[in-house]
Amino acid sequence: MNELSKWRAEVIERAINVEWLINAIICQHYLKKTFINFFLEVLYDEYFSFALKRRILEKILSQIDNQNNKPKIDQLNRINTIRNYFAHCNQQFFEIGSDIGKVPDPRKTNRVINFKTLYEEFMSIVGDVELWLSEIFKSKGGTLEKE
């Protein structure tokens, strides 16, 4: 497996973890317990977007504390953006005579995506966001247990 494939797998797996933590917070806040059927049938539905979950999380945060959560929400958005780059942008384009393919940035097509830089940025913020979300979940009465 090449380096980009390993980065892609790790970014997507960790982003899934972040999204599951958000789902758990939503369940815990509204239902006072993480009901697996609600979790899987509603929150895990492919049409229940990350953006909607983030928006609900913001509403929950506004009800439970007076702290400025904007920096963490910004990190959460950045995690999702980077995840989307890894999940959806992988088609290399080759210039005539070149053996090195480049993946154009869909936001600025005249530049290429630097997946190494994105991976490093993702890894620098994801652990902190996971911890922050875990603390919110626990503050709502949720418990994180090992198998």
Domain membership flag for residue 25? yes
Place of tokens 């913020």: 125
Domain membership flag for residue 88? yes
pLDDT in tens, 89-146: 665 544 555 555 555 555 665 676 678 888 999 999 999 999 999 999 999 988 766 6
Task: Please tell me the total count of domains within the chain.
Answer: 1
User: What's the whole-model pTM score?
Assistant: 0.84
pLDDT of residue 145: 65
SS (H, E, C) the chain: CCHHHHHHHHHHHHHHHHHHHHHHHHHHHHHCCCCHHHHHHHHCCCCCCHHHHHHHHHHHHHHHCCCCCHHHHHHHHHHHHHHHHHHHCCCCECCCCCCCCECECCCCCCCECCHHHHHHHHHHHHHHHHHHHHHHHHHCCCCCCCC
Domain membership flag for residue 147? no
Domain membership flag for residue 145? no
pLDDT at 49 over 50: yes
Contact 137, 25 (CB under 8 A): yes
Over range 9-23, report the average pLDDT: 95
What domain range is 83 assigned to?
3-139
Domain membership flag for residue 92? yes
pLDDT at 56 over 70: yes
